[in-house]
Amino acid sequence: MASMDVPADTPRQAERAEVRATARPTLSWVTLALMTTASVASLRAAPTMAVYGLACVFLYLVPAIVFLLPTALVSAELASGWSGGVYRWVSEGLSKPLGFLAVWCQFAMTIFYYPSLLAFVASTIAYVIDPSLASNGLYTAIVIMVLYWTGVWVSSRGTKALAGLSSWGLIIGTLIPGTLLVVLGMVFLGQGNASAAPMTSDHLLPAWTGLASLVLIVNNFLSYSGMEMNAVHVSSLKNPAKEYPKSMFLAMGLVLLIFILPALAISWVVPANQLSLTAGVMQAFDAFFSHFHIGWMTPIAAVMLISAALGGMLTWLAGPSKGLLEISRSEGYLPPFLQKLNKFGIQQNILVTQGVVTTVIALLYALIPNVSNVYWIFSTITTQVYLIVYLLMFVAAMRLRKTQPDHPRGYRVPALGLLCTVGLLASLAALAIGFVPPSQFGSGSVWSYVLLIGSGLIILGLLIPWAFLKFRKPGWRTEAAEEGGTS
């Protein structure tokens, strides 16, 4: 029987391969554009740009051209030629240790991302309970810790029921409240009310008060991050070479509308000097609802924003850590303690360790008086760490074109070298500008700010992964790699 199984299996495998080739799942380019929009667009960053009024159009458009577009197109070529995400791309193009650095930074940025996300949730909840709590650091710290550890508990049990919230996040927490915000703003202006921010052509560009006046543009790089996640779907298009660029241009247009219009609506009703970077969206809703005498809608808007944010957190909580775990089990990058799975097959020790660090970070909200300042610092560190991923990705893409020019790719980027160079320079510029404190910090110590951002970047983005690589032992490899050798 055994000898008969061998020849019988060969045509069966060929048949399966033929079926897979002919029955490849397809996506329309419009569907992919909407998927990309859903994963990138959010209202959370709107208050950050609303500070600049009409100039937010410029501040959103520039990073879209020099960062969003190169990232989307370059990652599409990489995804169509090499499966496995950023680890595989960087490993093939540069080296396995740098591949680990890339996947580590992809995971590590969430350590600061979750506190800033949950600070937004805390300030939104405050508008339902007591608006004055939005600027209370102790309250914000408590909410962050309670919600994060609840999320860890849910994720560690392998619960999938709430994962669907992410697919509704675009509608519930972005499109409906965003559209409502813009409509209320247009009616507000249509009634003859003056805009809190000037809307004349003289204010299309940010007022130049030194380099600090442009620092908020750095936050927009993080707003556009994640495009490389959707590049994996490029092979599902019928004609990737033509349809993927169209899909990305449509997505970029939709994302810009979702980012720009609500930011403008906030600037119409909330003066820049009164705007909270965490509670700005609810400040605008509160002002509009009060003006139109429909204050009862404030809690409804808050619940919509909260549900979408929490749904996104639960969906993403185990994602990056799972990718890090799988690579570490086959290559031995993390100690066995962090590789252990609980009875539900979830990397609970990684989540708990991440939770301890998140708790320490949350306590800073209670220690630093200005919640908006803490929020900005965490957002900037998140961006700085994630930019390392893109720097490695752009360099790897250029090198792979030289070292493996004949490797099959479902999509080839025109002018790859130019796009990678633009993306690389933009990422380096954002990395440098991130060390300049924004104008809202006023008389705060510049060197203290630089020290905070630099420490976060060096420790989290470089020192910790270097330590794992330096001190790893052969026994850390808990799962034998099935495909050995390097290419």
Alpha carbon distances (Å) from 27 to 117, 237, 276, 315, 480: 31, 5, 40, 23, 35
Give the separation between CA 224 and CA 71, rounded to whole angstroms: 9
pLDDT at 483: 42
- pLDDT reading at 378 higher than 80: no
Q: What is the pTM of this model?
A: 0.76
Identify the pLDDT of residue 423: 92
Are the CB atoms for 287 and 70 separated by under 8 Å? no
Q: What is the mean pLDDT of residues 405-415?
A: 87
**Cα distance from N-terminal residue to C-terminal residue, the chain:** 37
Mean pLDDT along residues 458-462: 88
**Digit-coded pLDDT (tens) for 207-238:** 666 565 566 566 677 677 777 766 767 778 88
* Largest distance between two CA atoms of the chain: 86
Interatomic CA distance for residues 402 and 381, integer angstroms: 33
Fold entry, domain 29-473: Amino acid/polyamine transporter I (1.20.1740)
Query: Does pLDDT of 473 surpass 70?
Result: yes
Res. 266: pLDDT tops 90: yes
12 confidence band (pLDDT: 50, 70, 90): very low
Residue spans per domain, the chain: 29-473
69 exposed, middle or buried (CB, 10 Å; 0-12, 13-18, 19+)? buried
Buried/exposed code over 189-223 (b: 16+ C-beta within 10 A; e: otherwise): eeeeeebbbebeeeeeebeeeeeebbbbbbbbbbb
Q: What confidence tens digit (pLDDT) does each residue in 283-341 have?
A: 899 899 999 999 899 889 888 888 777 776 776 676 677 778 878 887 888 888 888 88
d(CA 33, CA 35): 5
Q: What share of the chain is helix, strand, coil (3-state, %, to 5)?
A: 75, 0, 20
Question: Please, what is the average pLDDT of the chain?
Answer: 79
Question: What gap in Å lies between CA 292 and CA 286, rounded to an integer?
Answer: 10
Residue 94: the pLDDT is 94
3-state secondary structure of 332: coil
Q: Are 48 and 277 in contact (CB under 8 A)?
A: yes
